[in-house]
Chain A
């Protein structure tokens, strides 16, 4: 298994553009988590899904952020429109119930 897969690994975009980050969890894992990492705030949970259903999205900073999980093997995090303060590393993680969370390599987003 390749582990959690995220794409793209790096994204540079201009303010106002739409950004879509993608995640493929480990096969068989039924929970998926999106985190954001910044120097100032560290690692923060944005949203998580259990069995493809969003459970808690209270960490999503604004309506500009949205996340979907159409099936067990794919999730997207979308920012529309993007702003410079959205620049961060975005991590996806997956797990089986009650077990260790496995992290993807992250997507480094830069909004100019």
Chain B
């Protein structure tokens, strides 16, 4: 069964501190992993996907197949990073739906 686990509902960090949002997944095949972000009163938007291997807004995420993890990291948190973050996966093949974790609310304190 496909499953995405985000163990933290809420994560609070001080501005300038490092951030790590955890994501573990369960999938029998070869998945695509994503991080979506939802800022206050805005729609859900893609932050990054593992196949592009890029850094967006200072965030990076590395797929660790051995640990089945896709943790989101940023070395220095900014207040504007405060938002809801969702980890998601889908099958590598075809146009299939995303399976989401329950999300982690990141609060960056000034």
Contact = CB atoms under 8 A, between A and B. Distances in A.
B57 interface: no
A103 B95 contact: no
A100 B98 contact: no
B103 to A, nearest CB: 6
Interface of chain B, helix or strand or loop or mixed? loop
Interface in B27-51: 36, 42-46, 49
Contacts of B45: 103
B56 to A, nearest CB: 12
Question: Interface size for chain B: under 10, 10 to 19, 20 to 34, or 35 or more residues?
Answer: 10 to 19
Given A42-B103, A43-B103, A100 B97 contact: no
A45 interface: yes
Interface string A70-112: 0000000000000000000001010111101101111000000
Contacts, number: 45
Contacts of A48: 97
Contact of B98 (A30, A50, A101, A105): A101
A35 B43 CA distance: 13
Interface string B88-109: 0000001101111111000000
B44 A50 contact: no
B86 interface: yes
A105 B97 contact: no
B43 A106 contact: yes
Interface of B: 36, 42-46, 49, 86, 94-95, 97-103
Interface of A: 3-4, 30-31, 33, 35, 41-45, 48, 50, 56, 91, 93, 95-98, 100-101, 103-106
24 contacts: A4-B43, A30-B95, A33-B97, A35-B100, A41-B102, A42-B101, A42-B102, A42-B103, A43-B100, A43-B103, A45-B97, A45-B98, A48-B97, A56-B97, A91-B44, A93-B44, A96-B95, A97-B95, A98-B95, A100-B46, A100-B49, A103-B45, A104-B43, A105-B43
- Per CB-CB distance, the 7 closest pairs between chain A and chain B, nearest first, are A42-B102, A43-B100, A103-B44, A97-B95, A45-B97, A105-B43, A31-B95
